[in-house]
């Protein structure tokens, strides 16, 4: 048994307007915990991060702390890219639901997904 699970999602060729929509990012951070049966410990926080070089043209960065750990989203509208992660101390995460949620929310055409079992040597 491991301590928890962590999925990272890199989404490509997303919709510029959706990736640049502050309210949509907030909605995603607010609704996803409920869809996964997790409990928010705080309201989502979101910030606009201006670009810092040729590769990063800026976008929205946000997170929500959940009882089970956290969810974060970083959008890069000019590049059609989003980077997100969901980390939980629960086991049995619904990775298909999470992937579909991000595809639909941001109009993504391609995903790169990594699934990690965390704390594989955690002692109970």
Q: Which residues are catalytic?
A: 69, 74, 89
SS (H, E, C) 18-77: HHCCHHHHHHHHHHHHHHCCCCECCCCEEEEEECCCCCCCEEEEEEEEECCEEEEEEEEH
From residue 111, alpha-carbon distances to 5, 44, 77, 106, 124 in Å are 19, 24, 16, 11, 35
CA atoms within 13 A on the CB side of 12: 4
């Amino acid at each position: 048994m491991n301590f928890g699970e962590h999925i990272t999602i890199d989404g490509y060729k997303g919709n510029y307007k959706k990736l640049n929509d502050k309210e949509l990012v907030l909605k995603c951070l607010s609704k996803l915990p409920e869809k996964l049966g997790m409990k928010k410990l705080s309201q989502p926080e979101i910030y606009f991060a201006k670009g810092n070089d040729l590769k990063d043209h800026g976008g929205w960065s946000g997170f929500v702390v959940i009882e089970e750990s956290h969810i974060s989203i970083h959008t890069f509208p000019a590049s059609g890219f989003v980077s997100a992660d969901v980390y939980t101390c629960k086991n049995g995460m619904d990775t298909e639901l999470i992937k579909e949620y991000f595809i639909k929310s941001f109009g993504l055409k391609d995903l790169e997904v990594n699934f990690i079992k965390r704390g594989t040597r955690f002692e109970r």
